[in-house]
Structure formats: C-alpha cells, structure tokens
Amino acid sequence: MVSFLITLACIITVIILIGRGYINLFVFLFMGMMLALGLTIAQGATLSAASSGNKWIDIFELIKDSFISTLTGTGMSILPIYAYATYMDKIQASPVLGNIIAKPIMAAKNPYFVGIFFGVFVIGFMRVAIVSAFAVMALFMSTLYPAILRAGISRESALSAIFVGTCFDWGPADFVIAQHISGVIAGDLVPGISVTNFFIEGSLRVIPSSLIITSLLSGFICQFADKKMGYVFGSHRPQEEEPKDVVEEVKKPGIYAIFPLLPLVFILMFSPIFPLGINISVLTAVLLSLIIVLVIEFFVKKDLKARVGDLRDGWIAGLGAGLTAVVSTQIATQFFTGMLNRLNGFQYLVDLIKASGLSGLLLTFVFSAAMFVMCFLQGGGGVVGQSLAPMVPGIAESMGVSYYALAVPIAFAGGFRCINIGPAAHMQYIVKTGETTPGEILKRTIPMAAIMYTATLVLSLIILR
C-alpha cells in the first residue's frame, strides 16, 4: 500500500511540475534520480546490474543504462523516421502529399467523418507492420496531421485521431502483445502460444472490425468536442495559407507525393504479413527510401551538390533534432518509469485483484480496468498486464470460451497510451507538437478508447468464442 501511494505521489508531482512549465526532460530525470536515491537508501545496496563499485555513483549508471537501451531500442525506430520527416519538409514533399489528402476531406459533406476516419484507420492499420508506436506517430505527424489541419479540423482532433490510431497494438511482432503474453509462454499455459499465433488466431480475426468501428465513430466524437470547445472550423489551418488556396497544388512533380510514403511501403512489403522471407528494420526502410528520393531529386533538379546539401540540412539535421526533441525525453521518461517499476507500487493493484474472489466476465472487466488505470497514470498497462496475464487461461476455461476471446481485449487494453494524464512520452510529444493540453486530448481519446475496447471485447466474445 505504501509503495502504491508513493507511486501515485511521484506521478502527481511530475504532472504538477510539468504543468507549471518546468522542462519535461529535467522533471523526469530529477524524479527518477530521487526515486533511485530513495530505493538505494532503503535497500542499502546498488540498483545497477553492473555496479561501478559505488552504489551512489551507480544512480548515474542507471541513467546511462536507460540511455543505451532506449537509443538502441525505440530510438533506432524513432530517429530515422523523425529525420526522414524533416527531410520531406525540406524538399517540400510533405505539402504535395498533404494537399492530395486534404482535397477529398474538404470535399466531403462532413470533413470530420472522412478526415478522422482516415487518420485513425490508416495509422491503426499501419501498426500491423510498424512495431514502434512512436515511430508511426512521428511519420504521420509530418504527413497526415498537416493534411487534416488544411481540411479545417482542429489541432486537438487531428492529434487525437493520430494518437488513437497508435493504440492499435496488434501486429505479428508487436512488443505490447509480446510483453503481455510472456508469462503465458513461460508457463506453457496455452499450447502453441506465440506472438505470431496470437496475431493469426486472435487479433487478425477481431481488430480489423474494431478498427473500422472506431474509425467510423471517432469523427462524430471529435466534431462534438470541437463544438464544445468553441472551435471555429478552419481556424487552425496553417497561417500562411488562405482557405481558398488550401488545396492549391505545390509546384512540385506529382511523384513527390509518394516520397513520404516510401518507408511505409517498404516496412509493409517486408513485414511478416507478406511471406517474402525478408524482414527489414525501420532504419533500413528509411535508408532505401532516402536513396530512391536522392536519385529522383538529382534527375529532377540535376545539381547533385545541392541535393546532398538538402539531405544534410534535412535528414542529418533531423537526426539531431529528433534526439533533442523526442528521444532525450523518451530516455528520461523510461528512466523515471523504470524506477517506478522497481518501486513495485502497482503490485498492490495486482494483489487486490487476485484476492478479490471475482471470476468470469466481471474479473475480465476488473483486469482491463486495472490496465486502464496504469495507462492513465503511466501511458501503458505493462506491469499489471504481465502479472495478471497468466490467470487469463483459467478464467477463459471457467467461462467456457477460448483463451483468445478474453486475451485479445485484455492485451489490447494494455496499450491504451492515448488515455494518459501527462507523464507518458507519447502524450508529451503530442501536446508539445500541437500546442495543446492533455485535457483537450483526453476529452476526445477517452470516449474513442472506450469504443475501441467495447468493440474489441464484444467481437472477441462472438468471433473467438
């Protein structure tokens, strides 16, 4: 109980400090260091797996470990995509694609219905191939987000569509799913269980329908929220554009519209979805795309020196900007959440649920609610999900349903990073980019996430029963 209260106090402190304008990076580092210091004093021993020889110096070694693991893990997905998006802006390829996307949205009787549907559906679908939610978020923030704004929809609604789309963790190599079912695999509780089988036997049969339902209804939610906010349709269009010129073609060849999509094409083409026997990383997909773009740019503009200069000012500069703007905060956030996990405060929730005596569908709701709490406070339900997942096969058997009928919605709930009050790096990135507040995002994403979960649960119990 004490560790749970300390965990809540730390998270609330982070939110207050960020709300008062303190730099996110330093808030997360400071709070992480305070937690590491307190844990070192309480345990009387080092927290580092590879000690420097001094338990106090090891606190800084923990920051180093977080830096290395984040940079070589999610950082290797985020940085190339972020830099590629910067390069697309540099050569003005993003506006070409943005104008093409904006046209049908603006022509629709209800731009919210079309624009938000397109945003949620496309991003949710691409999560099959792109494991990193942050990477797909960064890529679509430079392509789809400006297009939705040009169509007249508010920043908050455009951001919410992108954010909710990233919550569809359902691919054949998805990290959230792998984390959730790790205890089930370790205990050999379900014959033949693997992340790939989870995708084929469970997610693939349910999530596409859930994605369509969520995409269809999200537009009405965003439209209602914009009206309640007092948003004047079109007022968030880029200031340099007048409404009548929004869809005026950028003076670039039409092929430029394909450039921002090339990494997505390569990632999807060489993903486990298509049995080509080739599986490439995000970095490889970006490098292949860069070569193609550079060659075409040379044939269009001829000046090779200038084209290499664009690459330097776009992609190379984008790597530095991505490290400063995104990955550094991600490192600090991972350090903070890592210390929170060592505190093990959320184990209190796990123990409460295990001792509750509940069973069946009611226990399934309680499991999911616990992960919603984790998502709300930290941006992910990983710790609770991992601890409770081994109980799911027994609950499913007692209800007379298949393991996947319960496991799919429960695991899905663990990835609802869009329901977060502020500490998660994903929310920080969205809020900073859109110059808005977590509250305005949550007004839209909470009901959208409720639809996602409800649709997934109902469809799972019907289709996977």
In this predicted model, what pLDDT tens digit does every residue of 112-124 receive, in sequence order? 999 999 999 999 9
Better-scored residue on pLDDT, 385 or 412: 412
Contact 408, 145 (CB under 8 A): no
Residue 243 has pLDDT above 50, yes or no: no
236 phi, psi to nearest 5 deg: -100, 10
DSSP3 helix / strand / coil % (the chain, rounded to 5): 75, 0, 25
Rounded CA-CA distance 223/231 in Å is: 9
Confidence label for 224 from pLDDT (cuts 50, 70 and 90):
very high
Q: Looking at residue 246, what is its pLDDT?
A: 44
Whether the pLDDT of residue 157 is over 90: the answer is yes
**pLDDT: which is higher, 288 or 302:** 288
What pLDDT is stored for residue 249 in this prediction?
Answer: 43
pLDDT reading at 247 higher than 50 = no
Per-residue pLDDT, averaged over 353-371, amounts to 82
The domain ranges of the chain are 75-178+189-327
- For residue 245, what pLDDT band results from cuts at 50, 70 and 90? very low
- pLDDT confidence bin for 99, thresholds 50/70/90: confident
What is the predicted pLDDT for the residue at 251?
62
Report the pLDDT value the prediction gives residue 371, as an integer from 0 to 100.
Answer: 86
Give the span between the Cα atoms of 215 and 221, in whole angstroms.
10
pLDDT (tens digit per residue) in 15-42: 888 878 888 889 999 999 999 999 999 9
Chain mean pLDDT for the chain: 86
Distance CA 272, CA 196 (A): 9
Compare 210 and 7 and report the one with higher pLDDT.
210
pLDDT recorded at residue 158: 94
Q: What is the mean pLDDT of residues 168-182?
A: 85
Residues in CB range of 213: below 8 A, 6 or more apart: 451, 455
Mean pLDDT value of segment 125-138: 84
Q: Which tokens belong to 216? A: 């269809």
How crowded is residue 383: how many other Cβ atoms within 10 Å of its Cβ?
A: 23
Rounded to an integer, the average pLDDT of 445-463 is: 94
pLDDT at 226 over 90: yes
Q: Which residues contact 41 (CB under 8 A, 6 or more apart)?
A: none
- Sorting pLDDT into bands at 50, 70 and 90, what band is 402? very high
How high is the pLDDT of residue 239?
63
Averaged over 98-116, what is the pLDDT? 88
Secondary structure element (H or E) that encloses residue 246, with its range: none
The average pLDDT across 271-298 equals: 85
d(Cα 177, Cα 382) in Å, to the nearest integer? 9
What's the rounded mean pLDDT across residues 403-420?
88
Comparing 55-59, 151-155, 213-217, 356-360, the range with the smallest average pLDDT is 356-360
> Under a CB-based contact definition with an 8 Å cutoff, are residues 115 and 129 in contact?
no
